[in-house]
């Protein structure tokens, strides 16, 4: 079957440059990255996988094969309109020691897609990692991420605009504040409170509301992802905030923990 014939199939065409990835190998940050980029996310079950001949896939990397995969849509997790009941896409998969591709039939997958404006009804995967093996945990995490994103209450952080430190009422007490820039212009600030004999404490203010427990910045939440993965790893030099403020900012990053994004 030629590539030209594939392009006129009355189904959804998606192109994936790498092999399917197990959802157990990706973390929350990877799921949030995919979910944030995908206007369409579906769960589907593969019912057909056909290996293309080398002449139809001349650019496949050595040790890989290109598969034409057909899958039945199980559910649409998010979509701006109706999702076709069947989808077809191309995927490059690694060959085993015998030169055989992996078994894809009956695999349950999550697909992260975007539409093709020039050809209604056709889709492409948002990245080479846009197909994942489905799992209940990954499904639940993606739904929670998309719900948070649609709510409009979780700001998209783009940087740090100012930082300063204010001494407290007693010796050794101080409060550092970091004001963040966001895509929608909503005010967000981080506060690090230092008191004698107590551990430093991180809180967050969304507008005029301060979360004293900082529960919203724990790993596994959309707010945590947008802070841990998008805050700069050091304060901008132009802020000239001083050593104590810089140390408190490092405390912020340590408290959030590593982003953990792998792509």
Q: For residue range 108-136, what is the model confidence (pLDDT) as tens digits?
A: 999 999 887 776 667 788 887 888 999 99
pTM across the whole model: 0.84
Spatial contact of 203 and 210, defined as CB atoms under 8 Å apart: yes
Q: Choose one of 151, 180, 205: the last residue of a domain.
A: 151
Query: What mean pLDDT do residues 18-41 have?
Result: 81
**Has residue 40 got a pLDDT over 60?**
yes
Q: Are residues 145 and 204 in the same domain?
A: no
Sign, Cα dihedral of 29, 46, 16, 59 = positive
Alpha carbon 29 to chain centroid distance? Answer: 5
Distance between CA atoms of 216 and 205, rounded to whole angstroms?
10
Q: Is residue 263 part of a domain?
A: no
| Structure token digits, residue 217 | 């910045």
CATH number of the domain enclosing 107: 2.40.50.120
Which is higher by pLDDT, 215 or 8?
215
Q: Is residue 195 part of a domain?
A: yes
Distance between CA atoms of 100 and 115, rounded to whole angstroms?
32
Residue 8 is predicted with a pLDDT of 34
pLDDT band at 25 (very low <50, low <70, confident <90, very high): confident
Residue 142 is predicted with a pLDDT of 97
Q: Are residues 186 and 224 in the same domain?
A: yes
Q: How far is residue 17 from each of residues 68, 90, 129, 130, 238, measured CA to CA in Å?
A: 12, 8, 8, 9, 41
Which of the residue ranges 22-26, 142-146, 162-166 would you say has the lowest mean pLDDT? 22-26
Distance between CA atoms of 126 and 50, rounded to whole angstroms?
22
DSSP strands (E only) in 37-154: 40-51, 64-78, 86-94, 108-115, 123-125, 131-133
Start-to-end CA distance of the chain, whole Å, equals 32
Q: Are residues 23 and 86 in the same domain?
A: yes
Q: Give me the residue label for tokens 């589907």.
A: 44
- Note down the domain range covering 230: 157-256
Q: Is residue 261 part of a domain?
A: no
Backbone φ/ψ region at 99: left (φ over 0), alpha (ψ -120 to 50), beta? left
**158 bridge partner residues:** none
Residues 237, 256, 172: CA angle, nearest 5 degrees: 70
Distance between CA atoms of 29 and 51, rounded to whole angstroms?
32
Query: What mean pLDDT do residues 46-70 have?
Result: 91
- List the one residue out of 114, 90, 93 whose CA is nearest residue 34: 114
DSSP 98: T
Spatial contact of 188 and 182, defined as CB atoms under 8 Å apart: yes
Q: Are residues 124 and 65 in the same domain?
A: yes
Q: How many domains does the chain have?
A: 2
Distance between CA atoms of 182 and 105, rounded to whole angstroms?
44
């Amino acid at each position: 079957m030629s590539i030209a014939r594939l392009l006129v199939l009355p189904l959804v065409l998606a192109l994936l440059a790498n092999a399917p990835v197990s959802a157990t190998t990706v973390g929350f940050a990877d799921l949030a990255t995919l979910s944030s980029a995908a206007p369409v996310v579906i769960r589907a079950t593969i019912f057909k996988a056909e290996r293309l001949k080398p002449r139809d896939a001349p650019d496949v990397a050595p040790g890989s094969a290109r598969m034409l995969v057909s899958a039945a849509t199980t559910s649409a997790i998010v979509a701006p309109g109706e999702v076709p009941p069947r989808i077809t896409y191309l995927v490059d998969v690694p060959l085993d020691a015998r030169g055989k591709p992996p078994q894809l039939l009956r695999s349950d997958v999550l697909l992260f897609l975007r539409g093709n404006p020039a050809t209604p009804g056709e889709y492409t995967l948002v990245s080479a990692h846009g197909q994942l093996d489905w799992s209940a945990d990954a499904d639940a995490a993606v739904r929670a991420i998309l719900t948070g994103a649609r709510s409009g209450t979780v700001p998209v952080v783009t940087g740090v605009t100012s930082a300063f430190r204010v001494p407290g009422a007693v010796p050794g007490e101080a409060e550092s504040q970091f004001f963040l820039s966001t895509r929608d212009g909503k005010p967000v600030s981080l506060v690090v409170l230092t008191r004698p004999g107590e551990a430093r404490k991180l809180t967050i203010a969304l507008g005029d509301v301060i979360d004293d427990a900082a529960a919203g910045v724990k790993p596994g939440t959309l707010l945590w992802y947008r802070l841990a993965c998008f805050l700069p790893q050091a304060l901008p030099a132009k802020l000239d905030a001083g050593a104590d403020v810089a140390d408190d900012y490092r405390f912020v990053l340590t408290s959030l923990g590593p982003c953990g994004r792998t792509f």
